[in-house]
Amino acid sequence: MDEFITLARVVKVQGRHGEVAVEVHSDVPGRFRPGLRLLALGANDHRRELEVKDVWSHKGFLILRFVGVDSIADAEPLVGCELQVPFEQRAALEPGWTYISDLVGCMVSDGPREIGRVEDVRFGAGEAPLLIVKAGTRELEIPYAAAHLENLDLKGKRVRMLLPEGMLELDAPLTPEEKQQQKRRGP
């Protein structure tokens, strides 16, 4: 099975000559440059190859112009597409750095206690990405922050955290005792 990594997502058409504004999912400086070949993954799971013609920043977005995409009508089908490269083309990282996508599928533990498996990673809720961990029937959101990380073993697919006391209980369902207390207190 071919694997790809997403470098950006097309947010909107920007300009009259086929330019698009993208939300970047890569922290690698200079990753987007003229001549870069990307695959645009659409909603129908079809990939279309594109070559970057020009790139610049504008109002918090990266603006890309592609070879052969010369009008608004040419650019509109790209809105919502993920811009990808084959897995083997992802940039090399400095020692100690991790691709967040490599965490999906890892077993997460809090010290010796196993919590569950990483199902997804969400961004934008704060400085640290949130690991979406399936723990039985519960879905937990655990910040992937260096302050909580004790050990990472990507080959063994294990993430060992030292979480602050009570963090996992923040989203926990109410116990029968807590439900009784709420009933007594009233609305």
Q: What one-character-per-residue DSSP string does 19-58 give?
A: -EEEEE----TT-S-TT-EEEEE-TTS-EEEEEEEEEEEE
Confidence tier at 1 by pLDDT (50, 70, 90):
very low
Q: pTM of the prediction?
A: 0.58
Q: How many helices (H) and strands (E) does the chain have?
A: 2, 12
Domain spans in the chain, listed from the N-terminal domain onward: 4-88, 100-168
Model confidence pLDDT, tens digit, residues 10-48? 999 999 999 999 988 877 778 899 999 999 999 888 999
Let me know how long the chain is. 187
Q: What is the CATH number of domain 4-88?
A: 2.40.30.60
Question: At the fourth CATH level, which superfamily is domain 100-168?
Answer: PRC-barrel domain (2.30.30.240)
Q: Which residues contact 76 (CB under 8 A, 6 or more apart)?
A: 13
DSSP 147: T
88-100 pLDDT, tens per residue?
887 777 777 777 7
- pLDDT, position 97: 75
Least confident residue range of 31-35, 36-40, 123-127, 133-137: 123-127
At residue 47, φ and ψ (nearest 5 deg) are -105, 135
